[in-house]
Homo-oligomer: A and B are copies of this chain.
C-alpha cells in the first residue's frame, strides 16, 4: 500500500467523484411521494408523506396526553415546548392540558416502556399532522420521545409565521443499537460534555451512550470497593457514582441506554498503577501519558485478579442498570505475556495453545463473573473466539467482514468500523457505511444478529472545547444510517439536511460552532485586529485536521497534559467551504456547453478571498513560537495554492492553454501543499485545484470530447494512477 500524498489525493478525489455520481442517481423511495427537498428531517423517517396544508403554531398551541401518562412523558413535553419557545419566542403552555378536543397536539402512548432502557424497546411511532391538529401515537413513551424529536424538527416558518407541514409519518428504527461511544479516559470529559451529547443523541434518535471509562491513560469511575483504582489512576478526574447516576437518569429520561466499558485485560495501565501485582510483569506503573498501544496487561493466571474483578464488576453491575457490560478486550499486544515464563507455562499447562487461547480463557472467566451479576458481555473483535460463551456481543472495529463472521457463528454484533469519527473522515464516508449492505450474503436469521452500530469518539486529540465539533454534526449522518431505511443514501441531500440539523444541535447545547470562534480568536491572540481574526477564520474554514492516525506522527511530542489549542484544533472535519468549492468547480468544468461564467466568477472570487486571507495570516509576526510558525506556514501555502487556482482560471477564461512547465510547477506546488507539516492540517481544496490545472492545460481537448469523456480525461490527467509500489 502506497501511503504517499498523491495516493491519498486520488482516494479523496475518487470519493468526491463517487459522491457526485451517486447524487445523480434518483433514489427510489416508495414511501415518499413528495420531493425529498422538502424534507429537512434527520434521520429520515421510515415512511413519510407530505400533503398540502399547514398547521399553524401560535401561542394557542396546546398539548394533551390521551393515553398513558407519566413523569418522563411530562418532562419530555415540557422540554420540547421549552425548545420551541426559545426557537420561536412564542409563549407556549408548557404543561399538558386536559382536553384532547382543545389541544393542538394529542399524544397517545399505550404504556411506559421499560423502566430501564432496553434493546428490546419498541421505538416506533406515528405522527399525523393535519391543518388543524397533530396526533402522536406510540406503543410506549420511548416511541413518543422519538416522535417528539421529529415534531420538533418539523417546525418551519413562512410569511405567516411558524407552522408544521401536513404530513403522515410511520416511523421505526432499522437497527435497535444506535450508539455513540465517548472515550473519557484519554482526555477527561466532564459531566457537562456527556449531558449535552446526550441531548444531541436524543435529537437524532441515537439510543446507546457507550462510556469508555478505563484505559492506559485514566481510570475514570469511582469504585467504592477499590477506591485506590480511581485515586491512583485518574489524576482526580473521574465520575463519582452520584454523577453516573445523574448521567443514567438524564439518559433514561431521553430513552437512551448507558453501557459502561472497562477495557480488559489490555489497555490496563491505569489499573495497575494501584495494583502492580495484577500486571503480567512486575511494576511499578504510572498513568500512561502518550498515545498508542502499550504493553501493560493484566495477568489472567492470578486468582487475585478475579477477586478484584468480581468486587469491581459486581459494584458496577449495581451502578449501571443496563443489561450489557463492555469489557473491551482489544489490542493486547502480547509483549508482557510473551515475556513471562510463568504465563507461558500456564498456557501450556492449561492446553491453551497461545496468547489468543489465554485471552479466550480469561474472557470465559470474565463472562462467568458478568453472568453471575446478571450482565451480558460485549467486547471488541478480539474477544471473538470459538470458546467465547453465549450470549455475547461482538463490537467490530475491524470491519463488516468480522461482524458477518460473528453473525455466522451465532453471535450478535455491532459495527464501529467505518464510524471512527476521531479519524476526521467526511460524513459522506460514514453515511455510506452500512452494517448490512444490500450485498450482504448473510441469511435473514444471521442478519438479525447485526444489531446496529456505534460512532466512536476516541479522545487522544480532543478536549471538552473541541470534542463537540468532532462528534457533530457527522454523527447525525451515522444516526441516520442506523435509523433510516437503507435506501436513504443521497449524499447531497444528507449534507443539505446536516446543515439544518447542525443549528438544532447547537440549540440543545452542543458547542462545536461556539467554541470554534473562540479557538480561532484565541489562536489569533488578544492583540489581533478584527481583520486578522477574520482572515484566520477564513483559513480555519478551508483546512481540515489530518486524517487517520497521522497527527501523532506529525506532532510526536504531544502528551496528555498538553493544551490542544493549535491550528489543527481550530480546523474541523469535513470542510463545508471545500465541499462548496468542489461543487462550483465541478459545475464550472463539467456542465455541457459553454464554461459556466457564474460559477467561474464565484471560483475566482473565492480564490481571491483565500489568497488574501493566506497573505494576511502569514504576514503577522510569527517568530519562533511553534504554534504561530505552523499557522504562518499553512497560511502561506494557502496563499500560494490560491494563486495556482487563479492562474488556472485565468488560462481557462482567456482560452490560452499554459505551457507544460507551468503545469509541472503548479502540480509541484499543490503536491507540496498536500504534505502536512507540524501543523497537522490539510487542504481539502487541493483535488479541485488539481482539476482546474488539468483543465487549463488540456482545454484544447474539451470541444472534441463528450462531457463524460472530458470528465474521465481530466480525472486521468489530474490523478494519474499510483506508481507501482516496490
A181 CB, nearest partner CB in chain B, Å: 26
Chain B residues lying within 8 Å of A87, measured Cβ to Cβ, are 522, 525, 565
Contact (Cβ within 8 A) A500 B526: yes
A703 at the interface (CB under 8 A from B): no
- Bound Cα distance A88, B159 (Å): 49
Asked if A305 CB lies within 8 Å of chain B CBs, one says: no
Q: Are B89 and A625 in contact (CB under 8 A)?
A: yes
Residues A623 and B522 in contact in the complex (CB < 8 Å), given A86-B563, A514-B514:
no
Give this chain's copy count: 2
Q: A723 — which chain B residues lie within 8 A by C-beta?
A: none
A513-B517 in contact (CB<8A)? yes
Q: Which residues of B contact A355 (CB under 8 A)?
A: none
Contact B563 A85 (CB under 8 A): yes
CB closest chain-B residue, reference A569: B89
Look across to chain B and name the residue whose beta carbon is closest to the beta carbon of A514.
Answer: B514
Cβ of A252 within 8 Å of any chain B Cβ, yes or no, is no
Closest CB of chain B to A522's CB: distance in Å?
A: 6
Contact A86 B565 (CB under 8 A): yes
Residue interface bits A58-94, CB-to-B below 8 A is 1, else 0: 1000000000000000000000001001111111001
B513 touches A526 (CB 8 A): no
Please tell me if A161 contacts chain B, counting CB pairs below 8 Å: yes
CB–CB B626/A89 < 8 A? yes
Contact pattern, A 608-643, Cβ under 8 Å of B = 1, otherwise 0: 000000000000011111111000000000000000
Q: Does A503 belong to the interface (CB within 8 Å)?
A: yes
Q: Tell me whether A721 is interfacial, beta carbon within 8 Å.
A: no
A160 and B86 contacting across the interface, CB-CB below 8 Å: no
State the 4 A-B residue pairs at the shortest beta-carbon distance, nearest first: A89-B627, A161-B623, A503-B526, A514-B514
30 contacts between A and B (CB under 8 A): A40-B526, A85-B562, A85-B563, A86-B522, A87-B525, A88-B627, A89-B625, A89-B626, A91-B562, A156-B527, A157-B527, A158-B621, A159-B622, A160-B624, A161-B624, A161-B628, A502-B526, A503-B521, A503-B522, A503-B525, A503-B526, A504-B526, A506-B521, A507-B522, A507-B526, A513-B517, A513-B521, A514-B517, A514-B518, A517-B517
Given A503-B525, A507-B522, 19 extra CB contacts under 8 A: A58-B624, A85-B562, A86-B565, A87-B522, A89-B565, A89-B566, A89-B625, A89-B627, A157-B527, A157-B628, A159-B623, A160-B623, A160-B624, A162-B623, A503-B521, A503-B526, A513-B518, A514-B514, A514-B517
Give chain A's interface residues, CB within 8 Å of chain B: 40, 58, 82, 85-91, 94, 156-162, 192, 500-504, 506-507, 511, 513-515, 517-518, 521-522, 525-528, 557, 561-563, 565-566, 621-628
